[in-house]
Amino acid sequence: MQPWTNFLIVVVTIFAAFASASSATAISSDNATYVAPLIETCPVGSSTCGKIKDKYLVMLREGYEPASHLSYISRTLHVDDPVKEWRMMWHGDGVYSVRKVSADLIDILRRDPGVEEIEEGYWFQMDVVDRCRDPAYSEEERRQCYDASPINPRMHLEDERRASAGTSEDDKSETSTFRGEKKEL
Percent of the chain scored above 90 by pLDDT?
Answer: 29
Domains (range + CATH), the chain: 38-124 (3.30.70), 128-177 (no CATH)
* CA atoms of 56 and 85, how far apart (whole Å): 14
Per-residue pLDDT tens over the stretch 164-174 = 555 444 443 33
Residues 68-100 as b/e (b if ≥16 CB within 10 A, e otherwise) read ebeebbeeebebeebeeebebeeeeebebbbee
In terms of pLDDT, which residue wins out, 167 or 135?
135
What's the pLDDT at 170?
42
> How many C-beta atoms surround the C-beta of residue 112 within 10 A?
23
Residue 123, H or E segment: strand 115-124
pLDDT of residue 26: 37
